[in-house]
Amino acid sequence: MRRVFSVFLIIMSMWLLVPASVGAAQLVGCRNAMDPIELNVGWVPADGVPAPGEDAWWDLTADGIAAEGMTILEVAALYGESTELGFYEVVNTGIVSVDVNGIGSICVKPSNERQNGRPLYVFLVSDDKVR
């Protein structure tokens, strides 16, 4: 009887775990009108602030700041940073942390003029996680 019960427990465990692990391997991708964007994952402060076109997320941020009629240093001061490099470090560290699955990309929803009061350099983001 013990052996039958043990086999039953093993079968039930496998039955419960297999569907979850199979489902976890499916790539979800970006949903809800969100676009994929590559991140600057290997960046270190010695690399400096990337030039336009080198970091897509920073380009979106800089474009949003310009659309608000502000400079990068003005916005950096709002976040307690006195240099563009310090502000980039804060932005890059924060956005890379959204990449939960560690594949170097996330999903971003492009900004528009009506974002419910959010500045144009603040975006909706999520990970393109696997489920």
Helices (H), the chain: 2-24, 56-67, 72-78, 84-96
CA distance 5 to 124: 50
Phi and psi dihedrals of 113, rounded to 5? -65, -25
| DSSP secondary structure letter of residue 102 | -
DSSP helix/strand/coil, 47: helix
* Domain chopping of the chain, boundaries: 28-127
Biggest distance spanned by C-alpha atoms of the chain: 77
Please indicate whether residue 8 or residue 28 has the higher confidence score (pLDDT). Answer: 28
- What does the pLDDT look like over 61-97, one tens digit per residue? 999 899 889 999 999 999 999 999 999 999 999 888 8
pTM over 0.75: no
